[in-house]
Structure 1
Amino acid sequence: MYPDRVVSGMRPTGVMHLGHYHGALKNWVRLQSEHQCLFFVADWHALTTHYDDPSIIETSTWDMVIDWLAAGIDPSQATLFIQSKVPEHAELHLLLSMATPLGWLERVPTYKDQQEKLADRDLATYGFLGYPLLQAADVLIYRASMVPVGEDQVPHVEMMRELARRFNHLYGKEKDFEEKAREAVKKLGGKRSRLYNELRTEFQEKGSADALEQARAMLDDAQNLSMSDRERLFGYLEGSRKLILVEPQAMLTEASRLPGLDGQKMSKSYGNAIGLREDRESVTKKIRTMPTDPARVRRTDPGEPERCPVWQLHKVYSDEPTREWVQKGCRSAGIGCLECKQPIVDAVLKEQEPMRERAQQYLDDPSLVRAIIADGCDVARKMAQETMRDVREVMGLSYS
């Protein structure tokens, strides 16, 4: 069994904002201390929608890595790399495409949805259609067990699982597999061999999830097995053949509760975002000029917080006493809108302060960022090459 690994990436298509922080980066910071994590800049993915003007990609790539470091991603805990610097992603994408039914790609919900949203761009390209397949290669190549995603991305992870299953079914046909698996069972020792066979029968005949879990735990603890025998026994247990690619699980992340300055989803394209490292004066001005409850025309008019975009930010940034003060003060016209906004200004600036401090050393010396990425690319590439050796071998492309 392969170690628990988390893989996630982001497209470098512009400045990162606080919505990205609350939606993904805060979660990455937590995950890096709990699992082996690989976080990558998805520069090839950026080309699926920006192929006609790739000029922003390189600058955005380095800015985005600085933003990750500023947000608290620690290169001593997580592996940071750039997708295109690990060409094995493209190789696995190509090889997977040989056996991927076209209908699988066309039925991905985000395919038509994105075409409608980005109607101003010509997205009738293979690159755009094949986006989920490249996304699958990004994850499967590291034999990742978990992918942190929002609910809208769950179909993409389900497709990764189907692709891994199909690949293992087509190519995991090791010669004399069952005979080798039975020999591997014997290496577990008498008592464990009997237990393994009982649990395997329990799972395959009755579908017992407990039996599967127990058998997997036992294999994880078995010290005397080679990696090949361990793989065989995991495959034999589940009724499949040799497992070359691992089926990842979707790790559902809480949707960002941080709206934009106008109450809509925070987005650079909506012009309602606050940059992750935006300067203090600009942040203060943006929040102080936010639209409020339209019913409060004059200072003396009472308002309703639920109708006001500022209240949505209080839900994220303010403590209970402050929220009570806002509710009472707004509805009684006891406080004005600028007074109401000040705690948000203070909270956002406080949140950004350590980010600006962490970023400064990388802005002063960009070679530090280049070194972090170079090291990360080396680590990621070694893992990717291991997977591709196995993939080429089972597909008859090893030519030794």
Structure 2
Amino acid sequence: MTYANRPTILTGDRTTGPLHLGHYVGSLRARVQLQHEAQQFLLLADTQALTDNVGRHRKVTENVIEVALDYLAVGIDPEKSTILIQSQVPELAELSQYLLNLVTVARLERNPTIKEEIRLRGFERDIPAGFLTYPVSQAADITAFRATHVPVGDDQLPMIEQTNELVRRFNHTVEQPVLVECQAVLSNVTRLPGIDGKAKMSKSLGNAITLSASPDEITKAVNDMYTDPCHLRVSDPGQVEGNVVFAFLDAFEPDVDKVSELKSHYRRGGLGDSVVKRMLDERLQSLIEPIRARRRELADDRGEVVSILRRGTMRAREAAALTLSQVKGALGLSYF
């Protein structure tokens, strides 16, 4: 693979469960396109997933293959994108160790993304050290592959900011431009709400639609979607803001004028929730059906999926080892 004068992309997902539509609009769609334009590394973040899944490690490791199947099913080409398993690239852990010396506990605790994740998990002060420091691990992932662009949701912007802080701090410390700063790549839909409308879509919160969802599961999820509680009769004017069905139509219906017309009709009254939900159900069914079929086909040959991961991980180790060698040299740790 040759990528002269092309940007380098690093992105990934924690292996705590199959991917869902939030992942799809958040960055998966972009990744499929970016693989034709850039050198792309897709990281299966099993090590990071272990930071808040003590005692549930089997779930984490089993989902490595599940997430890989999702990547391949949506159109990721392993000949154009490098898919790797985080735990199998020890250079990432070593780089994390060096970067940890450049950040304080107080700075990590101020990270808005970490603060929100701590609140959601109810950790309070019982925060696993690995979880608190996972922004540093993420920075190591990004810098090890010299990523210039990172597709993320808007909730991950503080992580990119912290990565660049560490890059500047390291380069200043060693007085050499060893590590590379990156920039976030936001999709048009930076965050998809859960079907309950109360939080971002998450499998652990039970408010997600997975990419392998059956037709019945999709229909049930759409029918359960939060709309406007004050829209009691078809004739009542309805509110579009905060209405999950319209949030999904914005994300998945390519006919923008059609969605705009639906919103106007809903606001003035005369358009029932059931009609809008039926339209959304049809759109999601047509989107997920080919992904589900491709995923089922790939799952029949898991040995090939493992081979893809092995090849990608070995390519990734070569790239990470080169960066690590430069880091150690700059720190004076190249003794032999």
What interval of TM-score do these two structures reach, taking the shorter chain for normalisation? 0.7 to 0.9
TM-superposed deviation, 1:374: 0.6
Q: Identify which of 227, 251, 262 aligns with 2:196.
A: 262
Q: 1-side partners of 2:334 and 2:31: how far apart?
A: 36
Aligned to 1:248: 182
- AA in 2 matched with 1:259: P
> Are the equivalent residues in 1 in contact too, given 2:154–2:190 (CA < 8 A)?
no
The residue number in structure 2 matching 1:134 is: 137
Instruction: State the distance in 2 between where 1:363 and 1:60 align.
Output: 13
Correspondent of 1:386 among 315, 322, 329? 322
Alpha-carbon deviation of 1:119? 0.9
Q: Distance in 1 between matches of 2:64 and 2:284?
A: 25
Deviation at 1:383, TM superposition (A): 0.6
Q: 2:283 aligns with which of 347, 350, 353?
A: 347
Instruction: Provide the rounded CA distance (Å) in 2 between the counterparts of 1:294 and 1:170.
Output: 56
1:315 lines up with 2:318 in the alignment: no
Report the equivalent of 1:18: 21
Secondary structure, aligned partner of 2:240? helix
Deviation at 1:127, TM superposition (A): 1.0
Given that residues 305 and 331 in structure 1 are in contact (C-alpha distance below 8 angstroms), is that contact kept between their aligned partners in structure 2? no
SS of equivalent residue, structure 2 residue 10: strand
Q: Give the structure 2 partner of residue 176 of structure 1.
A: none
Q: Give the distance between the partners of 2:70 and 2:77, measured in 1 at CA.
A: 12
Q: Which residue of 1 aligns with 2:312?
A: 376
CA distance in 1, matches of 2:5, 2:91: 19
Q: Alpha carbons of 1:42 and 1:291: their partners in 2 closer, same or farther (altered >3 Å)?
A: closer
- Report the Cα distance in structure 2 between the residues aligned to 1:261 and 1:360, rounded to whole angstroms: 25
Deviations 1:78-97 (A, max 9, x none): 11001001000001111222
Q: Counterpart amino acid of 2:128?
A: T
**Partner of 2:221: helix, strand, or coil?**
helix
Alpha-carbon RMSD across the aligned residues, in angstroms, is 2.7
Q: Distance in 1 between matches of 2:157 and 2:212?
A: 30
1:230 is matched with none
Give 3-state SS (helix, strand or coil) of 2:29's partner: helix
Between 47-56 and 319-328, report the one with greater CA deviation.
319-328
Per the alignment, residue 210 of structure 2 pairs with: 275
Rg larger in 1 or in 2?
Answer: 1
Using the aligned pairs only, state the percent identity: 38
User: Normalised by the size of structure 1, how large is the TM-score?
Assistant: 0.74
Runs of 5+ consecutive residues of structure 1 not aligned to the other structure? 172-240
Counterparts of 2:5 and 2:178, CA distance in 1: 11
Q: Residue 7 of structure 1: SS of its match in structure 2? A: strand
Q: State yes or no: 1:82 paired with 2:85.
A: yes
Alignment of 1:1-400 (within 5 A): 4-119=7-122, 123-171=126-174, 241-256=175-190, 258-264=192-198, 265-297=200-232, 301-306=235-240, 308-318=243-253, 319=255, 320-321=257-258, 324=261, 327-328=264-265, 331-333=268-270, 336-400=272-336
Cα drift, residue 262 of structure 1 = 2.8
Amino acid at match of 1:385: A
1:328–1:87: structure 2 CA closer, same or farther, 3 Å change rule? same
Equivalent position amino acid for 1:269 in 2: S
Distance across 2 between alignment mates of 1:252 and 1:26:
11
Asked if the contact 1:314/1:323 (under 8 Å) is kept, the reply is no
1:322 offset after TM fit, Å?
A: 6.2
Please state whether the residue corresponding to 2:82 is helix, strand or coil. strand
Please report how far the alpha carbon of residue 132 of structure 1 lies from its aligned counterpart in structure 2 after TM superposition. Answer: 1.2
Helix, strand or coil for the counterpart of 1:56?
helix
Whole-Å separation in 2 of the counterparts to 1:316 and 1:251: 17
Code of the residue aligned with 1:304 in structure 2: it is G
Is the contact made by 1:143 and 1:245 (CA closer than 8 Å) also made in structure 2?
yes
Question: What CA deviation, in whole Å up to 9, does each residue of 1:199-241 have, x standing for no partner?
Answer: xxxxxxxxxxxxxxxxxxxxxxxxxxxxxxxxxxxxxxxxxx4
Change (3 A) 1:336 1:161: closer
| CA distance, structure 2, for counterparts of residue 314 and residue 162 of structure 1 | 37
Indicate the SS of the match to 2:204: helix
Going from structure 1 to structure 2, the CA distance change for 1:266 and 1:110 (only over 3 Å counts) comes to closer
For structure 2, the residue ranges without an aligned partner over 5 or more in a row are none
1:99-125 Cα offsets, whole Å, 9 max, x none, are: 444443333223333222211587423
Letter in 2 for 1:11: R
Residues 124-144 of structure 1: per-residue CA shift (max 9 Å, x gap) = 232122111111111111122
Q: Deviations over 1:256-296 (max 9, x none)?
A: 46433233432223322211110112212332344544345
CA contact (8 A) 2:240 2:266 kept: no
| Partner Cα distance (1:272, 1:399) in 2 | 52
